[in-house]
Chain A
Amino acid sequence: MSDNNKKWFSLNLNFSKKQKSESDSCGCGKTAGGCNSGENNDLNQDDFIEAAVNASIGEERRKDGFEQVFDVKMDRRSAFKKLTASLMIGAGAVSTSCSMIAGEETKEKAQIDWEEQFKGNYKLMTDEEKQGTVDRLVRSYQMRTGKNISMSSKNAEEDVLFGYAFNISKCQGYMDCVNACVEENNQDRNSEMQYIRIHEMKDGKGFNFNESDDNYYHEVPAEGHFYMGTQCFHCDNPPCVEVCPVQATWREEDGLVVVDYDWCVGCRYCMAACPYDGRRFNWSKPEVPETEVNKNQHYLGNRMRKKGVMEKCTFCVQRSRSGQNPACVEACPTGARIFGNLLDPESTIRWVLENKKVFRLKEDLGTEPKFWYFMD
């Protein structure tokens, strides 16, 4: 809050306890603009809402449906009245938080909401700003649910470039990876969102995605079939990043292609641009039962998303950046999934790339996916 060269406008509501003792002054700084400290402190919240509603709809209150919208006498005076009322409602949000009657927690919530609403793009944030937003999100979750989470804003490590290899001859189609991924990444349970798809393909037909089945339910491995997993390939030249109109998705230094869920406007251009079906969209508000929420989170990874934003595999950024294998790699009982640092000449992933016959999907597109397939 204190730094002067902030990239976005901030509202200083001073919800700290110190302010409480100075009972006379409203905690609102000058930046707030709309704080009408004197008069509104006397109204409690219900009265205020009542007054605002009266002012805005007044006599149309008994009408409903489109009558309210179309059957309205509107002279100059009532138009001004309405305008003033809506302004008042806006100011009300601020005044509630400034008000001495509203609890400390309400104020803090309003402060957090404001800061979160008007924060900048994560990509452009300094480390302190990243820490700030992470702290706010943690506090906000705590206030809403009473539960504590830990959220990281760990940056890409130098000399790390993440890569992935998938052994087609080892995968048996058990889908343990899909299970682990959903649990690790707090994906919406209602719409059964899944980042990973396991395609059951017929032997001898090649990689024919049109004829393969990615939602089989029978004993596996099935006779005469092989299994191939797809997910976000974290392209080094990602087309999804190119098309994003608001730069809400980008390639990090360690090669991870990530999304700022708070900057995404949900236009789904990236979804259309991805040649690998790597991206998912939240058509509804994602919901995870409180007991199943993975509380080890990263801002760019598995933190709770909202309705109308894109998400996708991040190679479990919350795990991989701290040295752990992604959840799918850890869960695979066949060892078909290999993950590691492409820049480390001694790493196992490098051995696979140098000693096995590897290929990638749609290599000719020049997207340079960092996800290789190989066979025994």
Chain B
Amino acid sequence: MNKYILLRKWSGLVFCIIIMSSCGHKKDEYHSINDKIEAESKDYQGTSITSDGYIDHVKTIEITEGNHTFLIPERKSQLQSYSCMECHTKPLTEMQKNNKSYKKAHWNISLNHANENTMNCISCHSGKNMDNLHSLTGKQIDFNNSYVVCSQCHTKQFDDWKGGAHGKRIGSWAPPRASLTCVNCHDPHKPHIASKWPARFNTEKVKERK
């Protein structure tokens, strides 16, 4: 009789241990992936992986917007005939008058950005200082920081871009972060991205599904 009670006691104890140990199993440590990310990133120390070597082919500048500091491609050295003052020695009105004495330029640029009521050349370009862009209130903006011009209207895209939800990282996911700036993807004179044909068509899939 005594033996039987002892056996029951022990089996109960063993049962309890099994239950408890299964609760502490690593798999059930977190309720969801979000809990896991939050918990495991609390003492994040950084990794040895960096974007070095993957962003070197681009000349970059560092910008700080809000809480975000990151690299964007330098722009001015990429412009075909910067500085503008090399040609724009006289006011625009005068250059437009004397057609023959000045070389024709910018003939291939047509503005297809918003509508005529909203935008024309001088919405972004300064007639007084060709080497810089300007804001709606006439403040000078460096060509390297052209995103500041865009951000005046496209505020939502600007917020997403700062955070990293809009636009594209250069080369690497690792820090330091380098992202393309607005004009690297969008032509500011016609920012809409054209439709095209898909890069690939799977002929085998067609056969399989017949």
Contact = CB atoms under 8 A, between A and B. Distances in A.
B76 interface: no
A160 B205 contact: no
A215 B199 contact: no
B86 interface: no
A355 B50 contact: no
A192 B199 contact: no
A236 B196 contact: no
Interface stretch (A2-10, A108-116, A368-376): A368-376
Interface stretch (A127-135, A301-309, A318-326): A318-326
A285 to B, nearest CB: 15
Contact of A323 (B51, B179, B209): B51
Interface residues of chain A: helix, strand, loop or mixed (majority): loop
Contact of A157 (B47, B197, B202): B47
A176 interface: yes
A352 interface: yes
B160 A161 contact: no
Range for the number of chain B residues in contact with chain A: 35 or more
Contacts of A215: 201-202, 205-206, 209
A344 B41 contact: yes
B116 interface: no
A159 B198 contact: no
B54 A338 contact: no
Contacts of B171: 324-325, 330
Residue from A179, A325, A350 with most neighbouring chain B CB atoms (10 Å): A325
Interface string B33-61: 11011001100111111111110000000
A332 B168 contact: yes
Interface in B167-184: 167-169, 171-175, 177, 179-180
Contacts of A345: 41, 44
Nearest to B50: A323
Most buried by B among A163, A347, A349: A347
A340 B33 contact: no
Interface string A91-113: 00000000000000000000000
Given A325-B171, A351-B163, A176 B199 contact: yes
Interface in A208-253: 214-221, 236-237
B175 A342 contact: no
B43 to A, nearest CB: 9
Contacts of A165: 165
A343 interface: yes
What DSSP secondary structure best describes chain B's contact surface?
loop
A300 interface: no
A335 B166 CA distance: 7
B99 to A, nearest CB: 39
B204 interface: yes
B164 A348 contact: yes
A356 B44 contact: no
Of the listed residues B27, B174, B204, the one surrounded by the most CB atoms of chain A closer than 10 A to its CB is B174
Given A341-B173, A343-B40, A159 B196 contact: no
B32 A219 contact: no
Interface stretch (A16-24, A45-53, A166-174, A258-266): A166-174
Contacts of A41: none
Contacts of A344: 41, 44, 46-47, 175
Nearest to A235: B33
Contacts of A190: 204
Given A158-B47, A215-B201, A340 B173 contact: yes
B117 interface: no
Contacts of B193: 172, 333-334
Nearest to A200: B198
Given A160-B49, A236-B33, A338-B165, A324 B197 contact: no
Interface in A118-168: 157-161, 163, 165, 167
Contacts of B180: 335
Contacts of B201: 215, 217
A351 B166 CA distance: 11
A78 interface: no
A290 interface: no
Given A172-B195, A355-B163, A376-B166, A342 B41 contact: yes
B185 A323 contact: no
30 contacts: A160-B49, A167-B165, A215-B209, A217-B198, A217-B201, A219-B197, A236-B36, A323-B51, A323-B52, A325-B171, A333-B185, A335-B167, A335-B180, A338-B164, A341-B173, A343-B37, A344-B175, A345-B41, A347-B175, A348-B177, A349-B173, A350-B37, A350-B41, A351-B165, A352-B165, A353-B34, A368-B32, A368-B33, A376-B157, A376-B166
Interface of A: 157-161, 163, 165, 167, 170, 172-176, 178-179, 182, 190-192, 194, 214-221, 236-237, 320-325, 329-330, 332-335, 338-353, 355-356, 368, 370, 374, 376
